Chain A
Amino acid sequence: MSRVIIDNLTKEYNSPGGSIVAVDDLNLAIDDGEFVVFVGPSGCGKSTTLRCVAGLETVTGGSIQFDDEDVTDQKPKERDIAMVFQNYALYPHMTARENMAFGLKMSTDLSKEEINERVEDTAEMMGIEELLEDKPKALSGGQQQRVALGRAIVRDPEVFLMDEPLSNLDAKLRAQMRTELQQLQNELDVTTVYVTHDQTEAMTMGDRIVVLNDGQLQQVGTPLECYHRPANQFVAGFLGSPPMNFLTVEADLENGALRNSMFTLPVSDSVAAEIDSPNLVLGIRPEHIELTDTPETHGEPDRLIETEVTVTEPMGDVTNVYLDIGGESVTVTTDGKTGASAGDRLYMHVPAAKMHLFDAETGDAIKHSDEPIDSTSVPETSSPAETA
Chain B
Amino acid sequence: MASTTRQFRRRLADVQFGNYLPFYSRLSEEQRFAYKLLAPGLAMMCIIHFLPIIWGTLISFMGVNSTYAQQWHRAPLVGLENYFDVLDPGTVVGSRFWFSIRQTVIFAVGSLVVTYVLGLTAALVLNQQFKGRFVARTLLLLPWVAPVVVTLLIWRMMFQQQSGIINNILLSIGLINEPIYWLIGDNAIWTLVLTHSWTQFPLVMIMLYAGLQGIPEQLYEAASIDGAGRWEKFRYITFPQLKPVSAVVVLLVMLWTMINFTAPYVLLGAQPPRSGQVGILYIYEFAFSNYQFGRGAAMSVVLFIIAMTMAMIYYKYLFDDDFTEGDE
Residue from the list B227, B228, B325 in contact with A92, Cβ < 8 A: B325
Judge if A56 is at the interface, Cβ distance under 8 Å. yes
Indicate if the CB atoms of A137 and B328 lie closer than 8 Å: yes
Indicate if the CB atoms of B243 and A102 lie closer than 8 Å: no
Residue from the list A77, A103, A155 in contact with B229, Cβ < 8 A: A77
Tell me how far the C-beta of B126 lies from the nearest C-beta in chain A, rounded to whole angstroms: 22
Indicate if the CB atoms of B226 and A107 lie closer than 8 Å: yes
Tell me how far the C-beta of B240 lies from the nearest C-beta in chain A, rounded to whole angstroms: 4
Count of A interface residues, CB-CB < 8 Å = 26
Known: A82-B225, A103-B227. A93 touches B240 (CB 8 A): yes
Indicate if the CB atoms of B219 and A106 lie closer than 8 Å: no
Indicate if the CB atoms of A85 and B240 lie closer than 8 Å: no
Judge if A75 is at the interface, Cβ distance under 8 Å. yes
CA gap between A82 and B227 in the complex, in Å: 10
**Chain B contacts of A85 at CB under 8 A?**
218, 221-222
Tell me how far the C-beta of A150 lies from the nearest C-beta in chain B, rounded to whole angstroms: 13
Residue from the list B228, B327, B328 in contact with A106, Cβ < 8 A: B228
Q: Which residue in chain B gives the minimum CB-CB distance to A54?
A: B225
Residue from the list A56, A76, A92, A155 in contact with B328, Cβ < 8 A: A92
CA gap between A136 and B218 in the complex, in Å: 15
Indicate if the CB atoms of A93 and B325 lie closer than 8 Å: yes
Indicate if the CB atoms of A89 and B221 lie closer than 8 Å: yes
Judge if A354 is at the interface, Cβ distance under 8 Å. no
Chain A 105-139 interface 0/1 with B at a Cβ cutoff of 8 Å (1 = within): 01100000000000000000000000000011100
**Chain A contacts of B218 at CB under 8 A?**
85, 87, 89
Determine the main DSSP class of B at the interface with A: helix
CA gap between A142 and B228 in the complex, in Å: 26
Judge if A81 is at the interface, Cβ distance under 8 Å. yes
Chain A 84-95 interface 0/1 with B at a Cβ cutoff of 8 Å (1 = within): 010101111110
Chain B 227-240 interface 0/1 with A at a Cβ cutoff of 8 Å (1 = within): 11100100011001
Indicate if the CB atoms of A91 and B221 lie closer than 8 Å: no
Judge if A83 is at the interface, Cβ distance under 8 Å. yes
Indicate if the CB atoms of B225 and A136 lie closer than 8 Å: no
**Chain A contacts of B327 at CB under 8 A?**
92
Indicate if the CB atoms of A77 and B224 lie closer than 8 Å: yes
Chain A 63-102 interface 0/1 with B at a Cβ cutoff of 8 Å (1 = within): 0000000000001110001110101011111100000001
Give 13 A-B pairs besides A83-B222, A92-B325 with Cβ atoms closer than 8 angstroms. Answer: A54-B225, A76-B221, A76-B224, A77-B228, A85-B218, A89-B216, A89-B222, A90-B222, A92-B328, A93-B241, A93-B243, A103-B227, A107-B227
The 3 closest A-B pairs by CB, nearest first: A107-B227, A103-B226, A106-B227
Interface residue ranges, A against B (CB under 8 Å): 54-56, 75-77, 81-83, 85, 87, 89-94, 102-103, 106-107, 135-137, 151, 155
